[in-house]
Structure 1
Amino acid sequence: MSHGSPGDGLRAAGTGGARPTSRDVARVAGVSQATVSLVLGDKWRGRVSQRTAGLVRDAARDLGYRPNLAARNLRLGRTRTALLIVPALTNEFFARVYTGAATVAAEHGFGVVLYPSPEGVGPAKDPFASARAALDGVIASSMAAQALTAFHGTDLPLVMLDSDPADPGAAAHVNLDIADGMRQVTDHLLALGHRRLLHLASAVTSWTFDVRARALATALQAVPDAALRTSHAPLDVDGAREATEAALTGPVPRPTAIICDDDILAAGACKAVRRLGLRVPEDISVTGFDDLALATAVEPELTTVRLPAEQVGERGMAALLAVLGGRAPEEGGIPVELVARGSSAPAPSA
């Protein structure tokens, strides 16, 4: 360690007239940036010697260093703003997630900025010139962590909703018990005597849809006379209708039930069944997933899995607040519930 004055150290290091940083203070005082942060944040007692603390303060004074208040406020959670990234604004599920997050945020004096990813499930771009200066943290729903590279390395805590818990880089995960929801649907149809099943799966690559497919296949493993086919469809009514029509007009035996990855796909499946001169549920049962407003707008009303989207948003914002406060977020999946309505009935007899 140099025994010259801090000013000598600065002249040796050379700042070229630029505003001094904590790195300059650390270099002049001969300590780490972490030590500078502890001393200037008045958290050094019991962790740094009094002599070292004096060196840091002297260096900061002689350099004319002033802490970056915006960065300090960010670390302490004082910008009081969270960013919620969703794949789309047109899906009711994400609107309800936002409502839940905003409700909890308001109770703690926070605001929530809603931002749709331009590319759906990713990658999401930084909507600000610098998220680091404008936000306390990021919440992302139904996306992959690797789609959020714009926020990596920003020191912003990231909370992932309805996403792969194995994805690295998240400070917390909040997930629905999606697998149990698909098990409930499968058990419901099996109890009604259905054995020929069509899975109308989302064509979107996403953890939440992968979980549904795995849970369905696992639930049918113990049923030796069950037959499962899968057709993929885009997440819109017309695409789902076309995919269902193609599946129902093929040479293989017609399924007695269609299990759809969400209610929008189920609405398309119901249209396809009717266009082929068949009836829901007398000839083919149809089930959805999400319990959107659409589920009770169609006729017959959809049997579906109710996902408490607002609770997802509430838990997500609570998890971010816990991380910012140095606390452990609540753990455990959020339960989901099968809602049986008119679109499912006993399988037709041979």
Structure 2
Amino acid sequence: MPEKSGPEGTARDGGRSGRPRPTGHDVASAAGVSQATVSLVLGGKWEGRVSARTAEAVRAAARALGYRPNLAARTLRLGRTRTALLVVPALTGDFFAAVHRGAAEVATAHDFGLLLYPSPEGIGTAPDPFASARTALDGVIASSMAPEALAALRGEGEGLPLVMLDSDEGACDATVNVDIADGMRQVAVHLREMGHRRVAHIAAAVDSWTFAVRGRALRETLRAGGGEVVTAERAPLGVAGGLEAATRALTGGTGPAPTALVCDDDLLAAGALKAARRLGLRVPDEVSVTGFDDLSLATAVEPELTTVRLPAERVGAAGMEALLAVLDGRRVETTGLPATLVARGSTGPAPDGAAR
């Protein structure tokens, strides 16, 4: 006869192990604390009520026992599912995989589930994957989403709490951004200091806030230092797009060719390196190339790519932390994270006679 399951999850593990599932009482006994303290710590409500040392003792006891809280009972008690949805454009590259790792680590530490939804359309309008099951979620973290997608994700009327990553969207509960503009300014200053005045922008053919910011910061910084963007070639994100756009930039003009190609991401920059090589141009002696994101690809190409490093895991972690704060009713300020230029072998001084 199957054993009964109590409210704290005392059933045996589905008959698989034959061992009783550890309970909150077991964790409390192992840590030498009350069950109320266990609930506070594992529910993420301990700060200001329990010492950090006690909280770590509770977590250590839970790990040692293999304790997992009864989420169904908790949902009934708190009115929450403790589940969040992370919407990203794609998982084809390092960046959003790292965003997911950062968010998942924070979610796990707070006993939250994290559902991942890579939009099949890439960066753009995302269909709502939970239109008929909105109550299964406590909130949404959305990265690089088109504005039209927000209505679907939040629902009509009182929608789900929403944290946006990499956006200036105002109709959300919190925003987490990397200082993209400063990252591109660092690229422009780096090139300017090496004598580059004629720059081509290999721009992502994506209408989103993050890429608009990159283009604007590049133009303004170059102009302030006496340089210019002589052409902006839009391209689909990817190596092939970068190859075609960079070829146009290097061969399509009537005046002097640009001495540097500034690319909106590392995949485009890899294509730009291929374009230079196919045209017989030496990088960086005859043309410099920069990327953005600092993917693993940046050190796989030759020469290694000068690029802008974005703290992807910190973005995901900050997004999850912001959502938890929103759910707890705490005030959330816009989070800003730094971008860092990483200079490598794909950039060098402008060719002789190019600076003016």
Question: TM-score normalized by structure 1?
Answer: 0.76
Query: 1:76 and 1:170, CA in 2 relative to 1: closer, same or farther beyond 3 A?
Result: farther
- Among 96, 105, 108, the alignment partner of 2:107 is 105
**Partners of 2:206 and 2:291 in 1: CA distance:** 16
Aligned residue for 1:126?
128
Q: Does 1:313 align with 2:321?
A: no
Count of matched residue pairs: 278
The answer on whether the counterparts of 2:75 and 2:82 sit within 8 Å (CA) in structure 1 is no
Aligned residue for 1:56?
none
Q: Does 1:300 align with 2:311?
A: no
Aligned residue for 2:292?
289
**Partners of 2:124 and 2:145 in 1: CA distance:** 7
Aligned residue for 1:138?
140
Gaps of 5+ in 2: 1-71
What is the letter of the counterpart of residue 233 of structure 2? Answer: S
Aligned residue for 1:334?
337
Q: CA deviation at 1:249?
A: 1.2
Aligned residue for 1:159?
163
**Partners of 2:205 and 2:124 in 1: CA distance:** 15
**Partners of 1:74 and 1:122 in 2: CA distance:** 36
**Partners of 1:125 and 1:74 in 2: CA distance:** 29
Aligned residue for 1:218?
220
Question: TM-score normalized by structure 2?
Answer: 0.75
The answer on whether the counterparts of 2:163 and 2:176 sit within 8 Å (CA) in structure 1 is yes
Aligned residue for 2:81?
79
Aligned residue for 1:174?
176
**Partners of 1:163 and 1:195 in 2: CA distance:** 30
What is the letter of the counterpart of residue 294 of structure 1? Answer: L
Gaps of 5+ in 1: 1-69
**Partners of 1:289 and 1:334 in 2: CA distance:** 15
Report the 3-state secondary structure (helix = DSSP H, G, I; strand = E; otherwise coil) of the residue aligned with 1:333: strand
- Among 272, 275, 288, the alignment partner of 1:269 is 272
Q: Percent identity?
A: 67
Aligned residue for 1:191?
193
Q: CA deviation at 1:91?
A: 2.4
Aligned residue for 1:241?
243
Q: CA deviation at 1:145?
A: 3.4
Please identify the structure whose Cα radius of gyration is greater. Answer: 1
Q: CA RMSD in A?
A: 1.9
Q: CA deviation at 1:275?
A: 0.2
Query: C-alpha offsets along residues 22-42 of structure 1, whole Å, 9 cap, x if unaligned?
Result: xxxxxxxxxxxxxxxxxxxxx
Report the 3-state secondary structure (helix = DSSP H, G, I; strand = E; otherwise coil) of the residue aligned with 2:337: coil
